[in-house]
Amino acid sequence: MPTVPPERTRPSERERHQHRQVAESFGTDAERYDRTRPRYPDAWVERIVAASPGLVVLDVGCGTGIAARQFQAAGCKVLGVEPDGRMADFARRSGVEVEVSTFEAWDPAGRTFDAVAAGTAWHWVDPVAGAAKAAQVLRPGGRLAAFWHVFQLPSDVAEAFAAVYQRVVPDSPFNFQAMPKQGLDGYQVLFNKAIGGIREVGVFSDPEQWRFDWQQSYTRDEWLDQLPTSGALTQLPSDKLAEVLAGVGAAIDTMLGSFTMPYTTVAVTAARTRIA
């Protein structure tokens, strides 16, 4: 469960980006995060670069620098903004320049960019304040691209995992019961929030959604290595985490020790067409 499981939807619940404890918990094990989280397809990074007017990229919520390094490999000059100092330290050690701040509070100090990219991070940013800040720093025609890996666990795998989560962490604010059914539709709420924020700011072209389908096989050990980096699990007490890992590991054993995960990488993207 590498990315963004749906939350329970209760009217009283805060917006996802206001869950600051989870939002800034990924540095609990930055090394594991960087080692195990999926990369973005190269063709994906190239598409964003090709649709931007130049090669100067701001990576919002750059984490350990996974996307930032891919943009660098595509010839871009990249600055990361990242609120979690532990993630930022890792990114710096890997060759990415990073300023420690939330995007909303970050001071651009007059700097401008050809693209504002956010890999699996925009849901932690206030969608309106974030789009307004992106509009402020984008050059004319500059591109905002917020993108996510949507994972679509095969339904038998999802059901087995959901049963483990339900047993071990029944009170989690993350809705594991929805996992078997989620897929792209489950994420559309999140994409719509990004689209709404971009439209509200009023200086962008109409937002588009881009998608890229790919897949990755995981052995039991590979999946269990990545699982603790999930926002739903980073704050779990170690005994509960161990129980989740044991339960999920046993479920994968019944699948002959591996499974294939279909991923769809989806972007919400727009160009800055008017003055902010």
Segment interacting with ligand SAM, rule: CB under 6 A, options 7-15, 60-68, 108-116, 215-223? 60-68
x-marked contacts with ligand SAM along 10-49 as a string, rule CB under 6 A = -------------xx-x----------x------------
Closest CA to 81 of 104, 62, 105: 62
Say if CB 226 and CB 36 are below 8 A apart: yes
Total of residues contacting ligand SAM (CB under 6 A): 23
Chain centre to alpha carbon of residue 82: 13
Q: How far is CA 30 from the centre of its chain?
A: 15
Structure tokens at 8: 């329970």
* Residue 265, strand partner residues: 149, 212
User: Closest by alpha carbon to 261, among 216, 198, 231, 195?
Assistant: 216
CB 198 to ligand SAM: min, Å: 16
CA distances from residue 48 to 55, 82, 108, 114, 150 in whole angstroms, order as listed: 10, 20, 22, 10, 18
Taking the complex as a whole, how short is the minimal distance between the CB of residue 192 and ligand SAM, in angstroms?
Answer: 19
Binding mask 170-209 for ligand SAM (x = CB under 6 A): ----------------------------------------
φ/ψ of 209, rounded to 5, equals -115, 125
- Cβ proximity to ligand SAM: between 82 and 160 the closer is 82
Stretch 121-180 residues interacting with ligand SAM (CB under 6 A): 121, 124-125
Q: Which residues bind ligand SAM (CB under 6 A)?
A: 23-24, 26, 37, 60-63, 66-67, 81-84, 87, 102-104, 119-121, 124-125
